[in-house]
Each structure stands twice: as structure tokens, then as C-alpha cells.
């Protein structure tokens, strides 16, 4: 419609039983639009709801292992970790040291390397081995 005085724009909006909405206030002159503001707000809320419905939430699943874990228990836990990665979740693996086991960090690193080797086909390492007090922590992400 071009540049129209504010009074005329308001009159035109009232004649159509609609609202005069300021779209861009910082321009010179400000840009306004004649529309049903209630309907506009409803459509924005509906779009936001649809966008929220489609987003995926990635969870971090934790697996805690002791240093003296048996082979069968390790394969069982690795199988669960692969399932979590297959579902699209991240997996945080914690190898815990109890008591004087802290003196044998090399055994913990060997266990971590075994886990890394068995997880290669299911996920990638997002965070390398990190010593966190009495624990070794690593995080796997899905492929």
C-alpha cells in the first residue's frame, strides 16, 4: 500500500475488523501490517509446538564397571552399550577403582582398550580416556 499515515492505517484496519501490527519498528518509516493478531499468535504457538514435537532428546546412559569384571559380565555390558548406541543415546563408561586398585592404572587402561575395541562397530569415542579421581571416564556417541 505504500507509505500511509498512522491514522489512515488504523481506520483501514478497523474497517476490515482486523488489527494494525507493527512488523519492523526500527526501519524508517516503521513497517506495519493489517492482520488478525489473535490468529497470528495462535499459528506461531502451533508452529512452536510442532517443532518441539519433532526434536529428539539425546540421553547419556552410564555404565559402571569394576576393575575385576569377568569376561561374561563385560560382554553383557558391551552388548547393552551397543543397544543404547543403536537407540541413538550416548554412553558414558566409568571404570571404578576400589581401595588399592588405584595403584594398577595400567590394568584399567587395558580394560578400557578392550571396551574401545569391542565398541568400534557401534559408536565413536566422543571423549578420550580421562582420569577423574578414582575413575576412568570415556564417552561414546552413536555412528
111 within some domain: yes
pLDDT(1) > 80: no
Residues 48 and 89 in one domain: no
**Total domain count, the chain:** 2
Task: Return left, alpha or beta for 3; rule: phi > 0 is left, psi -120 to 50 is alpha, else beta.
Answer: beta
Q: Are 67 and 101 in contact (CB under 8 A)?
A: yes
Domain housing 20: 6-52
Residue % of the chain over a pLDDT of 70? 100
Residues in the chain: 143
The pair phi, psi for residue 136, each rounded to 5°, is -110, 130
Tracing cell 501490517 back to the chain, one arrives at: 33
Residues 85 and 137 in one domain: yes
Residues 72 and 138 in one domain: yes
How far is Cα 46 from Cα 35, in angstroms, rounded to an integer? 17
Nearest to 109 by CA among 61, 67, 62: 67
CATH of the domain at 38: 3.10.20.80
pLDDT(102) > 80: yes
Residues 80 and 15 in one domain: no
Nine-digit cell at 86? 543403536
13 within some domain: yes
Q: Are 132 and 96 in contact (CB under 8 A)?
A: no
Residues 48 and 71 in one domain: no
| pLDDT tens string 18-62 | 999 888 888 888 899 999 999 999 999 999 999 888 887 778 999
30 within some domain: yes
At 2 the pLDDT is 82
pLDDT(132) > 90: no
Distance set, CA 40 to CA 23, 44, 52, 97 (Å): 12, 6, 19, 59
Q: Confidence band (pLDDT; 50, 70, 90) for 71?
A: very high
Average pLDDT of the chain, as a whole number? 91
At 107 the pLDDT is 92
Q: Which residues contact 80 (CB under 8 A, 6 or more apart)?
A: 63
Amino acid at each position: 500500500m505504500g507509505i500511509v499515515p498512522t491514522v489512515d492505517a488504523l481506520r483501514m484496519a478497523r474497517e476490515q475488523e482486523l488489527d494494525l501490527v507493527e512488523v519492523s519498528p526500527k526501519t524508517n518509516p516503521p513497517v506495519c501490517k493489517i492482520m488478525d493478531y489473535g490468529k497470528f499468535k495462535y499459528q506461531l504457538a502451533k508452529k512452536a509446538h510442532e517443532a518441539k514435537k519433532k526434536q529428539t532428546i539425546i540421553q547419556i546412559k552410564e555404565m559402571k564397571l569394576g576393575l575385576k569384571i569377568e569376561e561374561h559380565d563385560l560382554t553383557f555390558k558391551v552388548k547393552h552399550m551397543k543397544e543404547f548406541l543403536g537407540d541413538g543415546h550416548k554412553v558414558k563408561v566409568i571404570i571404578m577403582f576400589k581401595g588399592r586398585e588405584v595403584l594398577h592404572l595400567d590394568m584399567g587402561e587395558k580394560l578400557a582398550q578392550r571396551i574401545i575395541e569391542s565398541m568400534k562397530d557401534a559408536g565413536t569415542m566422543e571423549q578420550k580416556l580421562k582420569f577423574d579421581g578414582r575413575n576412568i571416564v570415556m564417552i561414546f556417541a552413536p555412528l
